[in-house]
Amino acid sequence: MLPLTEQMLRASLLNASLRERQSLTPPADLDELQWADLDYLGWRDRKYPNLGYAVVELDGSPVGVLLRQAEIKPRTRAQCSWCEDVTLPNDVLFFSAKRSGKAGRNGDTVGTLVCSNFECSANVRRRPALAYIGFDVEAERRRRIQALGEHARNFARNVRDGE
């Protein structure tokens, strides 16, 4: 992940109004993040707890998405659509995002199930359980890291391109 500044975060939001960009509360630890260990930057807004943000790198540039948490939590423990972790140490919530451009202005949204505090990058870096004798744990870990990046980027593309 590219190291980002607060100004870059605000500018990256493709489905947010100018007012929403200005009211964005950046992550408290933005200056201390380990960027090499992040497949995307995700955080919850401290001022508005029902808002979240996810920023991914697409074509060498940061692309941010403003997410809104659904009011109702899933009845059963859901699986995160991004990290696909089945032994989650955290809750998974449903978030929706307005599409960018005309589609978003017309009320078109997309949704996804994501770890409540966007812990996906840490989840995929945990050592997976040994599935069978000869199982390549490190190869599975690398596959999960790659898949997380693809899932987060695909969601951002979906918001951006309206497909």
* Euclidean distance between CA atoms 119 and 41, whole angstroms: 10
- Reported as a single tens digit per residue, the pLDDT across 55-102 is 999 988 999 999 999 987 767 778 899 998 767 667 889 999 999 988
Which pTM value belongs to this model?
0.89
State the Cα–Cα distance between residues 37 and 131, nearest whole angstrom: 25
Radius of gyration of the chain (CA): 16
Tell me whether residue 1 is in a domain: no
5 close to 48: Cβ distance less than 8 angstroms = no
Quote the number of domains for the chain: 1
Residue 100 lies in a domain: yes
Q: Is residue 155 part of a domain?
A: yes
* Percent above pLDDT 90 for the chain: 64
Q: What are phi and psi of 155, to 5 degrees?
A: -65, -45
Domain range enclosing 129? 6-161
Q: Tokens 């899932």 — which residue?
A: 151
Q: From first to last of its 163 residues, what are the pLDDT tens digits of the chain?
A: 889 999 999 999 999 999 999 999 999 999 999 999 999 999 999 999 899 999 999 988 999 999 999 987 767 778 899 998 767 667 889 999 999 988 888 888 999 999 999 999 999 998 877 777 888 888 988 999 999 999 999 999 999 986 5
